[in-house]
A and B are shown apart, each in its own frame.
Chain A
Amino acid sequence: MTTINSKQVQGSQLVFENATFAAQKSLVENHIEISVSEGVTIISVSAHTKAHIHILHNFHGTLPHTQIEIRIQSGAHALIIETYAVTEKLPKANITTNIAVGNGAHCEFISLQHLSEGAQFAQTISVQQSENSHYTAHVYQICGSILHSKLGVEKIGTQANTAIYGLSYPHRKEQFEFDTTVKHSCPDCETAENFKIIAADHSVGIFGGMIYVAPHAVKTAAQQSNKNILLSPNARIFSKPQLEIYTDDVTCNHGSTTGQLNNDALWYMQARGIAPETAKQLLIQAFVHEITEKLPTQELRDFVAAKVQ
């Protein structure tokens, strides 16, 4: 078991090399504690502190299974950005992350999946939210041959709020999937989910969204939206919204639509001199805006806007 603490002020940078936490390459703020136990890296953010954490996963082509546990202690605020770098061709990588968001704590988790073209990547993020906690996730599937995000959230305390924003933009023969389950096990919790898929070429985009409301989870407010665009006749999108509601005292709504770029809008823009490619780009940026505008910083919004082209 190792514990690392450093005097880094401008946020923490945690580097993983093939599933193993690389202490010597990392910078850790002193209110963050890191320990490794039986292959699981435990990241703990002290109560009532603020943390900015960048987690960088380096994959080198073997089959690493990274296991991480993040504990946001009560009243703490954590912003966690996860990125992935691949130094060899055709890696298959796997990350399981368990996040416990303590009483009154806030956790904002951003996953930017921009891997190499041949990369296969699967992530499982399981979140447990205590009373009065907030969890916001932004999941971007941008590049990789197969990207799979299994996102689970369970509310184990009342008034736990969840927001999940997902954007998936498969090209070529890429297959990207969101598989989400939000469990309302306690009364008085809110969930808002907004997922968008833009599928180009011969790609496949999948959204599965389960919202489960337990019999005693009264006054649940849940909302799910999944809007998709097919950019090519050979692309496919599958949308599977699922609601399982076992109590009456809830407000739940969900909607799913899949269509194409608006032809009349493209024509209108071309009639103004805008080339078809630019016109498409403007419509795509307009479509993703609802998701990207939720990112907490302009740098992140610019980063994503540049990748979504």
Chain B
Amino acid sequence: MQFAINSIFAIKLQQNTKTQLRMLQIRNLHASVQGKEILKGVNLTVNKGEIHAIMGPNGSGKSTLSAVLAGRDVFEVSEGEILFNGKDILPLPAHERACEGIFLAFQYPVEIPGVSMTNFMKAAIDAKYAYRGEEAPSASEFLKKMKAMRSMLGLPEKLNNRSVNEGFSGGEKKKNDIFQMAMLEPQLAILDETDSGLDIDALRIVADGVNQLKHADNAYIVITHYQRLLDYIVPNFVHILYDGRIIKTGDKSLALELEEKGYDWLIQ
């Protein structure tokens, strides 16, 4: 008898930890832009601590999926749901989703002439703390962290006073997005082709940064075309997105298989 009760208790405990681990649940997500359906029923579950890679040919909807998760309002969600930590985030505007802990590293980071990195980052940090009803770090704490994260990513010292991404090289822009991620410490970070346009040294620096920031409570969705990024940032799952749907899911070996065979064998 004693034994049986114990095992029931053990099963319950396991279920609890499993729901606690669940961070993102995307169910049957359909999204369109200008009347054209791009996402056609995406299902994806991401648990705390996991790294998911999403691969797929150009135009299959990878950036659309990222933008819909981050809340870009030009995309219209016609069906399905997105739960983040159990909360339906579809009604939330983009800035509130960011404050909830979702971060998107852009495929094409945007230049903002005249807005300095310091003012930009300060506004973002202040917004995050205000949203949580917490007091924002002091100016000196903030600047100290700026400095630490900047040097982790090998960004130039004069970064603070430069306008956001203005005149940055392609690689610097990508690094700058990871720098912002490091500053904001999101729970879920979506990296949309962060490796594109990075030379091998920059790729290593970025990947090292991403790995350093990884811990048991956060998760990454890494969108990439290349195995070389996944050599550094090793995924738990690899998904293939094609024509608005995830058509295959596997472990890290799937990426190697794709490198060898391309997508054709999957898209019959």
Contact = CB atoms under 8 A, between A and B. Distances in A.
Nearest to B128: A273
A283 B110 contact: no
Which of A264, A270, A273 has the largest number of chain B CB atoms within 10 A? A273
A57 B184 CA distance: 50
B112 interface: yes
Contacts of A303: none
A297 interface: no
Contact of B98 (A265, A270, A282, A289): A270
Contacts of A283: 112, 114-115
Interface string A29-46: 000000000000000000
B241 interface: no
B177 to A, nearest CB: 10
A262 interface: yes
Interface string B75-118: 00000000000000000011100110001101001111111000
Given A267-B94, A268-B106, A273 B114 contact: no
B106 A275 contact: no
A159 B180 CA distance: 49
A69 to B, nearest CB: 39
Contact of B95 (A265, A270, A286, A289): A270
A274 B99 CA distance: 9
Contact of B113 (A267, A269, A274, A286): A286
A270 B128 CA distance: 11
B184 A273 contact: yes
A278 B114 contact: no
A273 B126 CA distance: 9
Nearest to B66: A271
A223 B128 CA distance: 44
B112 A265 contact: yes
Given A265-B110, A268-B164, A270-B95, 10 more contacts: A265-B111, A271-B70, A271-B94, A271-B95, A271-B106, A273-B99, A273-B128, A274-B124, A282-B115, A289-B114
Interface of A: 262, 264-265, 267-276, 278-279, 282-283, 285-287, 289-290
Interface of B: 70-72, 93-95, 98-99, 103-104, 106, 109-115, 119-120, 123-124, 127-128, 131, 163-164, 180, 184
Which 4 pairs across A and B sit closest by C-beta, in order of nearness? A286-B114, A273-B98, A268-B110, A272-B124
